[in-house]
Structure 1
């Protein structure tokens, strides 16, 4: 494929197929619909399957079933649909079934404004489903990153045997940029599942070390095990033993904690001499970067930090940065969600100022520019 002018949503599909996606189940919802449309067109060309389900509950259930059958599976939705998926997200986490979900954020709560951008699902990604469990989520800010980060989402869902969320917003999903897919660098290679032992009768997929994820052979290949959302033993059958319960819940956390440094990625610029740092993700980070560049032209010592991995939040790096600056400005399209993680990370090392974006439109660079000037003048 030569260089093309494409949307973020389109890049997600190209990237997902490149990463081995072969099953998509979803229900059309703005502003993610183009992902379903393209999967319906392109997945059959590579031997894949597209199913439009009756709702988002059945969509994520179908993805879980397909993944258990050995397919790399994905769904795409927005806030209202993501809410409906929560119970089955918890099921996939507990059963350790790899699934990727693309959440293209829009204005809420409830139906909100279907065509307006927002970043108000940030906390829902982490805390939306009940119970103790971690989450992994990546947030691209360009069309090219939509391509690369969905591949990384597939990679990590397979690596940790869990749900990974690709967190977009309406602006990133629908903006167009020219990219040359054939020449994109730093694309992670997604390995095949397995290998699995030849001895099928005695194989126990959930018998793994305390910091590893289970590896489930495709159903129908002769291995015998149970799949459940209940606390379970090494064969997947329900148990209520306190020690086994504690081991399982801790392992669900440990398997991500053990590779957290590999999972976490971020983009930082102009940090060395910064006295104030602007932190944002997704489309707002584009406005922030523009504002930072303009401020530096006027000799303002301001830096830029963008979490690409938004869960787990890059707390260690943010804490390090906070020790060397006087102020951090957080810009996000919500009343303030990521800012809570920033404050938790910096403790009392520096001041934290929030720029809220709750008008259903992108935060403009001049708002960030003016806020930084106000902060440093105090």
Structure 2
């Protein structure tokens, strides 16, 4: 019966926020907790309507701190769980996200970015949460951060995010922005049997179960109600989940938490080089992501009219960063200048700059005022001025 209530195969016209919600349901999400905050509130409202239809649970918490902790609790109880927020809410969730990494609890957090800091401009989009998403909570841990550029990718990458969270047992972040979240676009939903859905690996032997085995990169999950003896703590712990103050145990645990992402880096990395056909050399490579990348694609045509051969390098996954792939593209296209375009004052720029140490190339930065999208004409003119 639940399957019958999921979005049917076909072509739709909907917002990015709605696409994320419907993808989450198809991925198996059956718990959502959140607190209203523009521009993610309509995603939450959609889940409030749809989750009961598929046998799921929706809770509006008293704040974002309560919401993320409920999500972690639901995940610990065996449900696929998610929340949605914006920059101020993500700030409040960071401590609990650190707990999620330590307890190795799958979860998906959607951040529909808006202008900041503080209250900023709630109704206008921006890209100011990149650093917060990648490095927000304290301590050493690795995160996976997705950055869709359109409604179709909002759908596709949400399913990928749930699969990654379940496979690697960790919280995963999806960075949208107001334009993608509230903007309408075409969505093609394939047959549900064609969509790869991953569920967490469950332990099958109760006797002697160790919830945090160190010789297994991603330990199997103890299914609630099946007789497993389980202890969880945010403290550094041993294989049993018991707190320890021991150098070897600390190194084993923290190294494994990092390796879950680092060892899977090659399959997690995702990016697009545009245009991919009809061009073998480019003077300029523009690095952009999210909604800004769409404007860059249009601006490329104007740059070509001015005699400048340019390509777009667009990460779909911001972290792990496709640094090796970026350098390979620089070398294979004979790029002479790298231009980073962001709707902030330079966040992903730092990662691009670090990547270029391995393929020394002059780089420049174009900062777009958060909240105020340029037209392709305006952006191309700014790029021409920077290049000159």
Query: TM-score, normalization: structure 2?
Result: 0.92
Indicate which of 239, 245, 254 corresponds to 2:259: 254
Aligned partner of 2:89 in structure 1 is: 81
1:142 aligns with 2:147: no
How far is 1:245 from its partner?
A: 0.2
Aligned partner of 1:191 in structure 2 is: 198
**C-alpha distance in 2 between matches for 1:216 and 1:184:** 26
Secondary structure at the counterpart of residue 101 of structure 2: helix
* Structure 1 spans left out of the alignment, 5+ residues: none
Indicate which of 310, 324, 327 corresponds to 2:318: 310
Secondary structure at the counterpart of residue 58 of structure 1: helix
Aligned partner of 1:227 in structure 2 is: 232
Aligned partner of 2:337 in structure 1 is: 327
Indicate which of 186, 201, 213 corresponds to 1:178: 186
Aligned partner of 2:380 in structure 1 is: 369
Secondary structure at the counterpart of residue 214 of structure 1: coil
Aligned partner of 1:152 in structure 2 is: 160
Q: Does the CA-based 8 Å contact 1:333-1:356 persist in structure 2? A: yes
**C-alpha distance in 1 between matches for 2:365 and 2:80:** 39
1:339 aligns with 2:346: no
How far is 1:205 from its partner?
A: 2.0
Secondary structure at the counterpart of residue 123 of structure 2: strand
- What pairs up with 1:55-74 in 2 under 5 angstroms? 55-74=63-82
Q: Does the CA-based 8 Å contact 2:107-2:172 persist in structure 1? A: yes
Structure 1 residues 178-225: Cα deviation after superposition (integer angstroms, max 9, x where no partner): 2232469974x122323422x313111211436x12332233321112
Query: TM-score, normalization: structure 1?
Result: 0.95
Q: Does the CA-based 8 Å contact 1:322-1:346 persist in structure 2? A: no
Q: How many residues align?
A: 374
Q: Does the CA-based 8 Å contact 2:33-2:82 persist in structure 1? A: yes
Secondary structure at the counterpart of residue 261 of structure 2: helix
**C-alpha distance in 2 between matches for 1:130 and 1:54:** 24
Secondary structure at the counterpart of residue 312 of structure 2: strand
Aligned partner of 1:201 in structure 2 is: 207
Q: 1:172 to 1:184 in 2, by over 3 A?
A: farther
* Structure 2 spans left out of the alignment, 5+ residues: 1-7
Structure 1 residues 66-112: Cα deviation after superposition (integer angstroms, max 9, x where no partner): 00111000000000100000110000001100010000000000011
Secondary structure at the counterpart of residue 102 of structure 2: helix
**C-alpha distance in 2 between matches for 1:185 and 1:288:** 35
**C-alpha distance in 1 between matches for 2:286 and 2:150:** 18
Secondary structure at the counterpart of residue 82 of structure 2: strand
Secondary structure at the counterpart of residue 114 of structure 2: strand
Range 78-87 or range 265-274, more displaced: 265-274
How far is 1:297 from its partner?
A: 4.5
Q: 1:325 to 1:184 in 2, by over 3 A?
A: farther
CA RMSD across the alignment: 1.7
Q: Does the CA-based 8 Å contact 1:29-1:78 persist in structure 2? A: yes
Q: 1:183 to 1:357 in 2, by over 3 A?
A: farther
